Amino acid sequence: MPVVRSAEATTHEIHGARFVSYATPRTGSKELCAWRGEIPAGTRAPAHTVNREEILHLLVGELLVAVDGRTDRVRAGDTVIVNPGATLAVENPTDHTALTWVTTSVGLEAELADGSRIVPPWAN
């Protein structure tokens, strides 16, 4: 049974947020990826369309999460289900960092509004 210790997690930063990667093919996962997201106060991530289902569980804080144009205020303990092909935007309107736990399947890609693509290393 592979165990990924917190000290072994890999941290990535993009669009003002941090992604602390735990489960990926590089750490022994065959089908799923999982990471902790750290969204600082005032951060507004660009809208992006995902090719895989993504499950976002808010551990700490509060976020505004828009999925396909519908915005919900999400609080600690809430879970957001983002289906493949959906467009997701996340904003932290508070003055505290929000912490998320996110899972998806290997191969997640995101397309930004300008057509550019992101292949996040924390999800591949």
Percent of the chain's residues with pLDDT above 90:
96
Domain-located, residue 38 = yes
Tens digits of residue pLDDT in 10-27:
999 999 999 999 999 999
Domain-located, residue 1 = no
- The CATH number linked to 87 is 2.60.120.10
Tens digits of residue pLDDT in 46-63:
999 999 999 999 999 999
Residues spanned by the domain of 43? 10-123
Does residue 1 surpass a pLDDT of 80?
A: no
What is this structure's pTM? 0.93
What's the number of domains the chain is made of? 1
Nearest to 64 by CA among 93, 98, 96, 102: 93
Domain-located, residue 20 = yes
Q: What is the pLDDT of residue 116?
A: 96
